[in-house]
Every structure is written in structure tokens, then in C-alpha cells.
Chains A and B, each alone.
Chain A
């Protein structure tokens, strides 16, 4: 009898335990609560920039997110709904915090996590120390064997929107993952680096931090050198240099003389302006950025005219076939 009672109690207990296990009550008890205490985290894949987007990825070592679904909301508005994977969150002005609330559901069990993203604006601007003619409205390119000035434009703001003075921020520069301690420091918003070799690149990065260390932003720039360019332009005594049309192939001298100007683009300038040498029919005739040529003799003729510029290892040239004179004029006394 006692045996039967023991068997009955054991069976009843087992049944209750089984029910308990498969019931929601049992499940909650197994994972503590319906909203888990941080079973997963949110990872940002890049430094958040104002007015852009940041990629957010749910990561967990405790639960598998592969088969889960995810809903992300910003300010109550759904920005993503679907399979649990990386999603994008739009950002606003510098310093304006964006809170994203994520609900990750796995096997019917929801888990929540939230993150506040505060974008700070840091951009690296490249200013090659390279040549270009005066009045050129563009920017020359990093020169082979030259130098480039890199400027960090930082716009760090507090959550209240107060803009921090860029001169009070700390700038930490790195070149190819090696910190440049000499050029880093408070207010050091610019550095000068060597251009990389041809077909190479240099990675320059900067991290900008507020004085109290609570706000920071960063940017990275990949530096590549370019070959220099020489362009020849006609120079008219009244119209000036005709920068609107770079001469190529052929040019015809119709008057008593013609002047040419050699525009040098993207040559290194750290040791001065590039030197220009002119050649006529392969013979060096003159140095300088301008040359004036005069046809002499009778009849038509042609000549090759070229301008070669160089500084250090950087060299470039431009060539023209110049025609002049006329085929007639073989009569008496040249008439």
C-alpha cells in the first residue's frame, strides 16, 4: 500500500514537472524573464556620422540570433522589421542623440535592448602641397614624392546641442595604424604627411575627443598619389592665357609669332615650383613657363614643340605639332 502510494506520488510529481517544463511558466523560469537581462548586445559597425546612417548588428553569445526576428524603432517609428541581421539607423545633427529600441524574438520569446547613438562630425580634408596655375578653381592631386596636408574638421556637440570649440579638442593622428604622437595633441587639427609611393596607399585616421573625454568622433582617409600633368595653353597678348582650351595634337601659327604657357598640375611644391623646359624639334631651347615662337624663312613648315616639367621624381610633359608659314610665296622676290 505504501508502495502504491509512493508510485502515485512519484507519477503525479513527474506529471506536474512535465507540465511545468512545457508551460510558459516553466519557460520563463528557465530564462528568468520575458525580457532577458541583456542576452544580446547591439554593435555599431562604423563611427556614426551626422545625417548619415549607422549599421547596427545584434550580437549574442548566449542565444542564437540566426532564427530570430527583429524590430527596431527610433522614436516609436519602426526603422527595421524582419530577420535578425544588420540594419541601418538614420542619424541627425551632430550631438543629437538617437535612441534605437530593438526587440529580438527567438522561438516566440522577445528580448529587448536599446542603444543611444550620438553622432559627432569629424572629417579629414586632404590639401595636397602640389602645383596648379593661379586662378585654377579646383584642387591639385597628391603628388608622387610630395606631401599632403590633412586637416581634421571636427564638429563635436553635447546632447544639449552646444558646439565645442575645435581648438580645445584633442586630436590623435595615426598613419597606417601607427599613432603619430608628435603631431597629436590638443588643437592639433592638421598634419603634413608624405605622399605614398606610386600604386600604394596610406591610411590616415584621426580620433577627436573632448577635453572631458565624454564625446568623441573619428574619420579615416586613404591617401593615394597621382601622376603630374602638364598642359599647354595659348597665351594671347590681349586675351591672356586661354585656360579654357588645353592644346593637344596640332597648332597653327597664323601671325608673326605665338606664345605658349605650360600649366603644371599636381607637381610637388615643397621644394619650390616645378621647373619647365621647352623643346623645339627635340632640342632644349628655353626654361620658364612661357615661350614665344616666331616663324622664319619662306614657305610652310612644321616643328614639334614640347614642355617638360619636373620636381624630384615627378615629371610630366606635353607636346604639340606646330605648323606655320604658307606653301605659296615661291615667285619672284617671294611675291
Chain B
């Protein structure tokens, strides 16, 4: 009898423990825990420097992800793509037809390079080099190489890498100096800017990274640079509540002020260097003007945006911009946009430099594409196709002009 009671009690206790454990494991409340910090990078980086080669087994045609929204508007890929694309004219079928445009872009999560043929709708992966986390890409006009920028493992430094567009390319990738303050890519040369506490030094290198030559120095340490025809353009990094300036820098390194002081100044040079588009902010309201570099005369434009949201036509005849429909006057521009604190709802406008008028090109609200915050605008050499990335989701779009 006694043994029987002991046995039953033991079973009851064990059952109670099992039931308690069951509820503890499967019905305890949810919470957040902090993962331990690791010193290793969470971003896999492709190989090392020069000499790397990638396998070709994964390169080839992939299913097209493009979506035709309207006869002229095409979503090439939902992305996200790295900000910075290039469009090439790969030849025409006849003299009277528009050029066949090939768009090259980089998939942000992998660093793979893709080429999209506008005419055939075929999407091809041309490079499977793995380089995730690319923030910005600047392409050679030939489309052979993209100079990509991303953050180092500890997110404290900028890394810049020359990424060949094709695995089959004879060009190997290579790293540019670490921590570059800015970079500008021309047809045959690359302009690098290194900055320190006492100023900046700009160097010109060949597109293969060789032959670096110092071009100019400046006591300014917070600059952005680009080519301006045969000279160079330098402007102070913008801030909404600080006056900014834009300068033409001669080959001898002399700085000549073109515009400023203007708050929030951002500048965009025309391909020939004859014009500079300048955007600025005045009491929370954005403005834009066109500077003739020959005469210094400024013409105020009827539309306004941040100049980073614009692209020049290859013949200087026009500028295409993403113009916010109703930018809040309480915003600090371009700071809030740069910091991701606000996004714009854009329409695409064309500013005709020769004819001196502005023309609406694309109103996204009349399509099914949703809200557009345009960045990384690009044009093919024939000015027949406009490309842009939607900053809201990293999708890539083309519009036939």
C-alpha cells in the first residue's frame, strides 16, 4: 500500500514538472535580446585587390524582372540597385530608328553587375563578383567599370573599388585609396579628392588607377568635386544653415568663385563646362539657378530641387530633374533629404537651356508606379532614354523621351 502511494505521488510530481516545463518553453512571453557584438564583418567582401577573378559559371541570362507601366515608362528591376547607373547606345537597326539602349546597374545586395537591353527586354548578369552593401556607383561613360563606394567593416571608413562590369573583361578590379572624400569619373580619367584637417588635395588618375598626378590643393577640407569641361568644379559640402560656394578650378589650381554665398548650395556641371546648375535654399524654400561660366551671369529657374536629383543632356541642351511636387517649407534642404529624414514626391521636368523654358515630362501620379523620389538620374548619349532610381525602394526605371 505504501509503495503504491509513493508511486502515485512520484508520477504526479513528474507530470507536474513536465507540464510546467511545457508551458515555460512554449508559452513564455516574447522579448528582445541583444546579440553579442562581433568583431568580424557581417558584410562578405569579394576577394582582395588586383588579380582577383570570378567564376563565370553563374554569369548569363536571368529572367527579366522588368514591368512595362506605360508605353514609355518601364520598371527595369525592383532592385534595390546601387545609386548610379549608366546607359549605353549599342547601335541602331536603321538610321531613322532610335538607338538601342543598354542599361548597366549593380544589384545592391550582391554587387553583381547586370545589363538590360531596352529593345529586347533581356536582362543579363555580366559580373558575379560579390561585393554587397554598395552605397554609390559612378560609371565610366563606356560602361566598362563602375567606381563603387561602400563602408568598411566597422562602418567608420569609406572604401572605393573599381568594379569591372564584366567577368570577361581584361580589366581587373582594384581598390582606390581608403577614405577618399570624393570622386569624379570622366571619360578617360578619374578625379580623386583626399581631405584632412588642414585642407584637400585633388589628384587625377587614369581609369586603371595608374599615373596619379596632383592637380590642385585647397585650404578647404569639406569639398565635393567634378569635371568642368577642361577644368574642374569644386563646391563646399552643403548644409541648409551654412552659406556655400562653388568654384571653377583651373588646371593651375586657381579657385574662381562662380556662385555663393548661397545656403544649402549644391552644384552640377554641364558636360562641356559651359554651365553650372546650382540649387540652394532660402528660408526653407528651394531655389535653382543656371550659371554661365563664361560670363558669370546667373539665370533663376522656374523650378527647384536639389541639384543631385538632376542630370545634364550630353550636349548641354537640357537638364532633367526630379522636382518635388510640394516640398515642406519646414524642411532643411538638402540636409533632411540626405539624412533620410524626409522623402520627396517628384515629377520629372525638363529644363530646356536653349529655349529657356521648363516642361513637364513625367507625372508619376498619372501612372501606377507610386510615389517617386528620384535620384541617380542618367541619360544615354543620344538623350533618348532617361534612367532614374526611386530612392523610396531602390527600384530602377527608364523613360523613353
Contact = CB atoms under 8 A, between A and B. Distances in A.
A88 B339 CA distance: 40
Contacts, number: 185
Contact of A294 (B33, B109, B242, B257): B33
B28 interface: yes
B208 interface: no
A175 interface: no
A282 interface: no
Interface string B257-298: 100110000000000000000000000000000000000100
Given A189-B219, A299-B29, A294 B241 contact: no
B158 A226 contact: no
A243 interface: yes
Contacts of B173: none
Interface in A214-269: 221, 224, 226, 229, 231, 233, 236-246, 248, 257, 259, 261, 263, 265
Interface in B18-43: 25-35, 37, 42-43
Interface stretch (B86-94, B97-105, B116-124, B133-141): B133-141
Interface in B213-229: 219-222, 224
A139 B134 contact: no
A294 B43 contact: no
Interface in A110-126: 121, 123, 125-126
B343 interface: yes
A275 interface: no
A288 B34 CA distance: 13
A248 B144 CA distance: 40
Contacts of B158: 134-135
B35 A294 contact: yes
A289 interface: yes
> Which of B109, B198, B296, B335 neighbours the largest number of chain A CB atoms within 10 Å of its CB?
B335
A211 interface: no
A237 to B, nearest CB: 5
A139 B239 contact: yes
B254 A297 contact: no
> Which of A123, A135, A229, A244 neighbours the largest number of chain B CB atoms within 10 Å of its CB?
A244
A159 to B, nearest CB: 17
Interface residues on B, range: 35 or more
A123 B132 contact: no
Interface stretch (A11-19, A75-83, A149-157): A149-157
A93 B296 contact: yes
Interface stretch (B148-156, B309-317, B323-331): B148-156
A155 B255 contact: yes
Given A134-B151, A138-B335, A296-B33, A126 B242 contact: yes
Contacts of B150: 240
A246 B391 CA distance: 12
Contacts of B341: 231, 246, 248
Interface stretch (A2-10, A66-74, A176-184, A322-330): A322-330
B355 interface: no
A139 B242 contact: yes
Contacts of A149: 197, 221
A259 B334 CA distance: 27
B340 interface: yes
A289 to B, nearest CB: 6
Contacts of B30: 295-301, 324-325
25 contacts: A123-B245, A125-B243, A125-B245, A126-B243, A133-B155, A134-B156, A138-B334, A138-B335, A138-B339, A141-B241, A141-B242, A238-B108, A238-B110, A239-B133, A241-B151, A243-B340, A244-B392, A244-B394, A245-B340, A257-B35, A293-B35, A294-B33, A303-B31, A322-B32, A324-B30
Nearest 7 CB-CB pairings of A with B: A240-B133, A301-B30, A297-B30, A292-B35, A139-B237, A238-B109, A246-B340
Interface of B: 25-35, 37, 42-43, 80, 108-110, 132-136, 149-151, 155-158, 197-198, 219-222, 224, 236-239, 241-243, 245, 247, 254-257, 260-261, 296, 308, 334-335, 338-341, 343, 391-392, 394
